[in-house]
Amino acid sequence: MKTWIYLPLVFLLYVSTAVAGDNMKAFPPADPGMERYVLNLSEQTDESVFKVELIVGRTVEVDEQNRYFFGGQIQAENIAGWGFTRYIVRELGPMAGTMMAIDPNTPKMERFISLGGSPYLLRYNSRLPVVIYVPEGVEVRYRIWSAVEETMVVGKG
């Protein structure tokens, strides 16, 4: 009976060791017309106070005054048989923005324009890579968010 208790533990140890050895085996190469980006996070003492923001977009020539964004979304997809998540942007939709009137002679500048909507935040996990697939010519950037250790008390109303 004790053998049945130890077998699952041995299996989990084997799987975690195999995964730690080469995490990228679970992530297929990018399809034609797509690119695969890999983000390996550094280990933190308390990873529960960190988040990773994925920022997907493209550098384009636009005016300086208006705010722009691309249509599209990041989709999380589970990799069958592995239990890992990969992130996919299937297409970068049309660019939209505000329509403030500006001098037509104002020179345009290159700016990074990202997907519209709320920030796409992930749990920080240095043990697995963050793998995102995007159409060719699209950039992937990221930002690390952290919480302060001090908590504040909310007053009763």
Q: Which 3 state secondary structure label does DSSP give 47?
A: helix
Average pLDDT, the chain: 88
Does the domain made of 28-146 have the CATH classification 3.40.50.720? no
Residue 46 pLDDT class (50, 70, 90 cuts)? very high
Mean pLDDT value across residues 114-131: 96
Q: What is the pTM of this model?
A: 0.80
Q: How far apart are CA 76 and CA 130, in angstroms?
A: 11
User: Rounded to the nearest 5°, which phi and psi values hold at 5?
Assistant: -75, -40
pLDDT at 4: 47
DSSP helix/strand/coil, 117: coil
Instruction: Please check the confidence at residue 20 and state whether its pLDDT lies above 50.
Output: no
Determine the average pLDDT of the residues in 39-65.
96
Where along the chain do its domains lie?
28-146
